[in-house]
């Protein structure tokens, strides 16, 4: 089974795979996670807002994103972002946006819908009495949220947020469809150039497995720690 297996091609391409590909994947993951959690938290606060139009808008956005395949959303934004950019800058022509920034914007906006649902559950897990107590002490909405509700919500939801980030890490491989050079994209380029598809794709699978598996294990440990303190 491994008789014709060429381990050398993997070794030769290691610097390219990791310095180009994995750096792209990890940067994209971290940026989309940060942006996604911030935007997702805002969406969650909007969804739980007593202002009807706000909660309706956020709900519609989240449901739309969750009903569409990620691949389609990637295509949408790949073509849409240049137009939005032109609209913001005020230029008459669509502006050029590279695959990387297009991917960052796409994943931030897409994952925000999923982070929103997690944060909504987190905010709802805080007893209503705490908000009431905050208001009774004269804190305004921002102070109650920022000092009382959100810190606890984040803490309660930390394992779920991280699990979602592992999913995000795996999903970034889909930037393949806009020909970006992430870890999988880099491997695919070498696989096709040297006709070493079997070697490259099994190697990619093993690397993804090791990273995701270790991260899920860490999340599990963290979950137990958080559970003990509470």
Partner 1 sequence: MNYNWQWDVLLQTASDGSGTWLRYLVVGLGWSLATALCAWILALTIGSIVGVLRTTPMPWVVRLGNAYVEIFRNVPLLVQMFLWFFVMPELLPQQLGDAIKQMPPPWGSFLPAVLCLGLYTSVRVAEQVRAGIQSLPRGQGMAATALGLTLPQTYRYVLLPMGFRIILPPLTSEFLNVIKNSSIALTIGLLELTGRARAMQEMTFKVFEAFAAATVLYLITNLLVVLLMRAVERKARVPGFIGSAPQNTGGH
Shortest separation between residue 77's beta carbon and partner 1, angstroms: 10
Integer-rounded Cα radius of gyration of the chain: 21
**Closer CB to partner 1, residue 92 or residue 138?**
92
Backbone angles phi, psi at 23, to 5 degrees: -65, -45
Of 22 and 177, which CB lies nearer to partner 1 in the complex structure? Answer: 177
**Least distance in angstroms from the C-beta of 92 to partner 1:** 7
Cα within 13 Å of Cα(139), Cβ side = 16
Q: Considering beta carbons, is residue 145 or 157 the nearer one to partner 1?
A: 157
Separation of alpha carbons 32 and 183, rounded Å: 16
C-alpha dist (Å) from residue 57 to 13, 21, 42, 105, 227: 47, 37, 12, 20, 34
Using the minimum distance from each CB to partner 1, give the nearer residue, 45 or 113: 113
CA–CA distance, 95 with 85 (Å, rounded to integer): 6
What is the C-alpha to C-alpha distance for residues 105 and 31, in angstroms, rounded to an integer? 9
Terminal CA-CA length for the chain: 51
Least separation in angstroms between CB 191 and partner 1 = 8
Q: Which is nearer to partner 1, 121 or 139 (CB)?
A: 121
Distance of closest approach, residue 193 Cβ to partner 1, in angstroms: 14
The distance of closest approach from Cβ of residue 70 to partner 1 in the complex, given in angstroms and rounded to an integer, is 6
Closest CA to 226 of 134, 125, 139, 147: 125
Point out which residues bind partner 1 (CB under 8 A).
1, 64, 66-72, 75-76, 79-80, 83-84, 86-87, 92, 114, 117-118, 160, 163-164, 167, 170-171, 173-174, 176-177, 184, 188, 191, 197-198, 201-202, 204-205, 208-209, 212-213, 216
**C-beta of 46 vs 78, nearer to partner 1:** 78
Distance CA(121)–CA(153), nearest Å, equals 8
Minimum CB–partner distance for residue 213 and partner 1 (Å): 5
What are phi and psi for residue 6, nearest 5 degrees?
-105, 95
């Amino acid at each position: 089974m491994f008789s014709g297996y060429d381990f050398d091609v993997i070794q030769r391409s290691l610097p390219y795979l990791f310095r180009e590909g994995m750096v792209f994947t990890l940067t994209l993951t971290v940026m989309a996670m940060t942006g996604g959690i911030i935007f997702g938290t805002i969406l969650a606060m909007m969804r739980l807002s007593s202002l009807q139009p706000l909660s309706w808008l956020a709900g519609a956005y989240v449901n739309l994103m969750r009903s569409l395949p990620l691949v389609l959303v990637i295509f949408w934004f790949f073509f849409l972002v240049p137009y939005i950019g032109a609209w913001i800058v005020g230029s008459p022509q669509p502006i050029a946006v590279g695959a990387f920034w297009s991917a960052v914007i796409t994943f931030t906006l897409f994952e925000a819908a999923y982070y929103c649902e997690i944060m909504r559950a987190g905010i709802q897990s805080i007893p209503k009495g705490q908000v009431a107590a905050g208001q009774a002490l004269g804190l305004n909405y921002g102070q109650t949220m920022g000092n009382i509700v959100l810190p606890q919500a984040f803490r309660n939801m930390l394992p779920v947020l991280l699990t979602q980030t592992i999913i995000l890490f795996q999903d970034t491989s889909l930037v393949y469809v806009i020909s970006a050079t992430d870890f999988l994209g880099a491997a695919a380029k070498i696989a096709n150039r040297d006709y070493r598809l079997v070697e490259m794709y099994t190697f990619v699978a093993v690397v993804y497995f090791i990273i995701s598996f270790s991260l899920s294990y860490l999340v599990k440990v963290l979950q137990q720690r958080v559970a003990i303190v509470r």
